[in-house]
C-alpha cells in the first residue's frame, strides 16, 4: 500500500540504528501508522528531521511493508506549537494517550479532528485542565468508548448538586456516600453537565473530573497506566501545584 501526500500529526519519534528514526503518526484515513524514516540524521536532512517532531502537522509519502511503512518524504504543513513547562507535559500526555489507545491502520477522522483541536488550544494557551478534560471526552467518543455526561447509567438527568463516579461501560453513577475516598474519586454533577455542554465550569468543578476520567481511561488501557501519569506524580512529590494541573 502507498500513502501519497497523507495528512497526519506526529505523535512520537525515536532514534533507530545510526541514522534513522521510528515515527508514529496519527492520520484521519488510516489511523495510527508506524513509519521508518531512514537516513535522517545527516547534516543535510535537518528539514526532514524537523518535520518529524511530535505535534508537527505533516504530509508524507510512504510504502507500507508489513507492520511499518517506509517513509519516502515528509513536509511540515505548519509550525508546531512551541510549548514549555506544563503545556509541554500536557502535549506529551495527549500524544501518549493516542499512542496507547488509537489502533493501527483503522480510520480515525474524529480523533484526528480532536487532536487538531487540542493542538490549537495548547498553542493558544487555553486553561490546561479544561483543555485536557475536553480532549479525554473527545478521545473516548472517537474510539467508541464515550457516553452521555448529562444522564446517569439509568437514563436519569444528572443532578448538578450531586456527585457521580464514572462507570467505563455505563457512564455516570450517582454517589450516595460522603466518605472521603468516594468523594475524591467522583465528579460533581455540575462538572459533568459542563463537559456535556462544552461550557467551562468553575476551577473546583474541573478538578473533580480528573480522577473519574482517569479511572475510565485506565480501564481502556487495560489497567496499565501512562508514563505521563508517573511523571506528574513525581513532580507532585517534588512540590508541584495541585489538582488543576495537566494530566
Domain of residue 172, CATH code: 1.20.1440.120
27 and 70 fall within a common domain: yes
Q: Taking the model in full, what pTM does it have?
A: 0.91
Burial of 10 (0-12, 13-18, 19+ CB in 10 A): buried
Q: Residue 18 gets which letter from DSSP?
A: T
Query: CA-CA distances (angstroms) from residue 228 to 90, 118, 149?
Result: 9, 17, 25
Which of 54, 76, 98 is where one domain is finished? 76
pLDDT tier at 244 (50, 70, 90 boundaries)? very low
Nearest to 107 by CA among 54, 36, 1, 32: 32
Using DSSP, state whether 199 is helix, strand or coil.
coil
92 and 57 fall within a common domain: no
Name the grid cell of 210.
Answer: 480528573
- Tell me, what's the pLDDT at 178? 66
Give the H or E element holding residue 237. helix 227-237
Whether residue 177 lies inside any domain: the answer is yes
- Helix, strand, coil % (nearest 5) of the chain? 40, 25, 35
pLDDT per residue as tens digits for the range 93-119: 999 999 999 999 999 999 999 999 999
- DSSP lists the bridge partners of residue 32 as 26, 104
Handedness of CA 103, 109, 112, 113 (dihedral sign): negative
pLDDT per residue as tens digits for the range 46-101: 778 889 999 999 999 999 988 899 999 999 999 999 999 999 999 999 999 999 99
Whether residue 64 lies inside any domain: the answer is yes
101 and 222 fall within a common domain: yes
Whether residue 247 lies inside any domain: the answer is no
pLDDT tier at 9 (50, 70, 90 boundaries)? very high
Which of 76, 93, 112 is where one domain is finished? 76
d(C-alpha 64, C-alpha 128), whole Å: 37
d(C-alpha 180, C-alpha 147), whole Å: 26
Burial of 116 (0-12, 13-18, 19+ CB in 10 A): middle
CATH of residue 49's domain is 2.40.50.140
Judge whether 29 and 8 are in contact, CB under 8 Å: no
Work out the mean pLDDT of the chain and round it to a whole number. Answer: 90
Whether residue 245 lies inside any domain: the answer is no
- Tell me, what's the pLDDT at 44? 55
Q: Give the domain extent around 224.
A: 85-237
Number of domains in the chain: 2
34 and 103 fall within a common domain: no
In sequence order, what are the residues at sequence separation of 6 or more whose Cβ sits closer than 8 angstroms to the Cβ of residue 221?
A: 100, 101
- Tell me, what's the pLDDT at 239? 40
Amino acid at each position: 500500500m502507498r500513502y501519497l501526500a497523507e495528512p497526519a500529526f506526529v505523535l512520537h519519534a525515536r532514534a533507530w540504528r545510526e541514522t534513522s528514526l521510528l515515527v508514529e503518526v496519527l492520520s484521519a484515513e488510516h489511523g495510527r501508522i508506524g513509519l521508518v524514516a531512514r537516513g535522517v540524521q545527516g547534516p543535510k536532512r535537518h528539514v526532514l528531521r524537523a518535520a518529524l517532531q511530535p505535534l508537527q502537522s505533516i504530509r508524507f509519502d510512504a510504502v507500507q511493508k508489513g507492520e511499518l511503512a517506509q517513509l519516502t518524504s515528509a513536509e511540515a504543513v505548519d509550525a508546531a506549537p512551541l510549548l514549555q513547562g506544563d503545556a509541554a507535559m500536557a502535549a506529551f500526555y495527549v500524544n501518549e494517550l493516542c499512542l496507547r489507545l488509537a489502533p493501527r491502520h483503522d480510520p480515525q477522522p474524529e480523533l484526528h479532528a480532536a487532536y487538531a483541536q487540542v493542538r490549537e488550544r495548547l498553542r493558544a494557551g487555553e486553561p490546561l485542565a479544561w483543555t485536557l478534560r475536553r480532549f479525554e471526552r473527545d478521545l473516548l467518543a472517537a474510539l467508541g468508548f464515550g457516553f452521555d455526561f448529562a444522564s446517569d447509567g439509568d437514563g436519569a438527568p444528572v443532578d448538578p448538586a450531586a456527585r457521580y463516579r464514572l462507570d467505563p461501560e455505563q457512564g455516570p453513577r450517582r454517589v450516595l456516600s460522603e466518605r472521603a475516598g468516594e468523594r475524591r474519586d467522583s465528579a460533581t454533577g455540575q462538572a459533568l453537565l459542563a463537559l456535556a455542554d462544552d461550557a467551562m465550569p468553575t476551577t473546583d468543578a474541573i478538578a473533580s473530573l480528573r480522577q473519574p476520567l482517569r479511572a475510565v481511561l485506565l480501564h481502556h488501557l487495560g489497567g496499565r497506566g501512562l508514563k505521563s501519569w508517573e511523571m506528574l506524580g513525581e513532580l507532585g512529590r517534588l512540590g508541584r501545584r495541585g489538582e488543576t494541573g495537566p494530566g
